[in-house]
Every structure is written in structure tokens, then in C-alpha cells.
Amino acid sequence: MSTVSIFLVEDSAVIRTSLREALEDLAPAKVIGFAESAHQACSNLRDLSLSGSCDLAIVDIFLKGGSGLDVLRCISANELTFETVVLTNYATPAIRSKCLALGASRVFDKSREVDELISYCNALSNR
């Protein structure tokens, strides 16, 4: 079992802190950084992909600047080499479909599916 290096794309400091604590307590995971905007996320994720130091990006849909959809487009267009999932309060069927079409491996609802995200991270650590 290896430690999963995670980059968070989330503009809420409260959610980032809670999520980091949950991931690091309940899965073999280490949060290695975060971004609050799509532009910042794309820049950081390109660098992390080049260095091979990121295993998973967890992306929210609504950000301070741009959207998680912009981040998914950036990841896809630049062929960045890590897993990507979406964690959002707006996990409607339409949003889920759009995120999966843009390359997300999974879409999790923040209010109901955090346990599934933790399980996903545990499974990723066993690959």
C-alpha cells in the first residue's frame, strides 16, 4: 500500500481543511497542495504532472476564478498523468455526465459521498 499524493482544487478553506484531515486520517493519503482558481490549478497541476509527484487531483466545480470544468479541460488538453475526480455539492446527473465526458474518473457528492471518496483513495493506494 502506497501513500496517495493528492492535490485539492477547492476554494473554501474550511472544506479544504476538513477534507485534508479526513483523507489523511482515513486513507494512506497526503495532500501536497491546493488551488482556489482554475488558472492556479492548471499551472500547479502541469508542474506536478511533469515531476510525477501527484497521484490524484480532487476538483470542485465552483471556484473563485473559473470552474472545475475548466480544470478538467486543462488536464485533458495537456494530457496530465494522474487520476482526477470531482467532489461537488452539485452532483446532478448533467454535471456528472459532463465531468465524466471531460475525463474525470468519478464524481462524488460532497454532502453524501465522502465515504466513497475515501474508499476510492484506499483503492488507489493499492494499485
pTM: 0.97
Whichever domain contains 91, its CATH number is 3.40.50.2300
* Residues ≥6 apart with Cβ < 8 Å to 35: 7, 8, 9, 41, 43, 44, 45
Give the number of domains in the chain: 1
Q: Which domain holds residue 34?
A: 4-125
Tens digits of per-residue pLDDT, 2-53? 999 999 999 999 999 999 999 999 999 999 999 999 999 999 999 999 999 9
